[in-house]
Amino acid sequence: MTARLNLFDNPTIAAVFKHVYAAGKVIETSALPAATQELVKIRASQINGCGFCTDMHTKEAAHAGETATRLHLIATWREATVFTDAERAALELTEEGTRIADASGGVGDQVWARAAEHFDEEQLSSLIALIGLINTYNRLNVIVQQPAGSYKVGQFG
């Protein structure tokens, strides 16, 4: 499989990625736990069918010490007992924030309230920014049909 457009050599996309990447660095160094960040990236990528991002973030999470059991259960987090209440709230917010069109009112008040029980305002800000950013990456990769499977840990710095 070959991508429709080379996202890594295209000057326009490179300029966009530079800014999106910089925004991601702000979130990466925030008070939002790193493990939660990876869970969010993986879940949104699964929902959006982004194989490239799913490949990247599962490998990065495993490299950072995430267990295989938790990685395998992200898509079924509601039935899994291996996630904390805070992680479950983040995954729920990720799902509703990714599937905005599926809910008539967008993200529900109860979903927001559950997230607010576990994360302070700075962490919530990081969480919603992260959901938006990973959805941006997912959409770019899905549109060009970016192949998955060859990502190497640390490939993008």
* Global pTM value: 0.95
Check residue 156 and give its pLDDT: 85
pLDDT digits (tens, 9 = 90+) for 74-120: 999 999 999 999 999 999 999 999 999 887 778 999 999 999 999 99
Confirm whether 109 is domain-assigned: yes
Spacing of C-alpha 23 from chain mean position: 14
Give me the residues of the chain with pLDDT under 50, please.
none
Residue 116 lies in a domain: yes
**H/E element holding 125?**
helix 121-144
Residue 15 is assigned to a structural domain of this protein: no
CATH number at residue 99: 1.20.1290.10
Tell me what pLDDT residue 14 has: 87
Residues with Cβ < 8 Å from 110, sequence gap 6 or more? none
User: How many structural domains compose the chain?
Assistant: 1
47: domain range?
33-144
Give domain status of residue 16, yes or no.
no
41 closest CA partner among 26, 54, 27: 54
In a domain, 149, yes or no: no
Query: What is the structure's pLDDT at 152?
Result: 96
Domain for residue 21, yes or no?
no
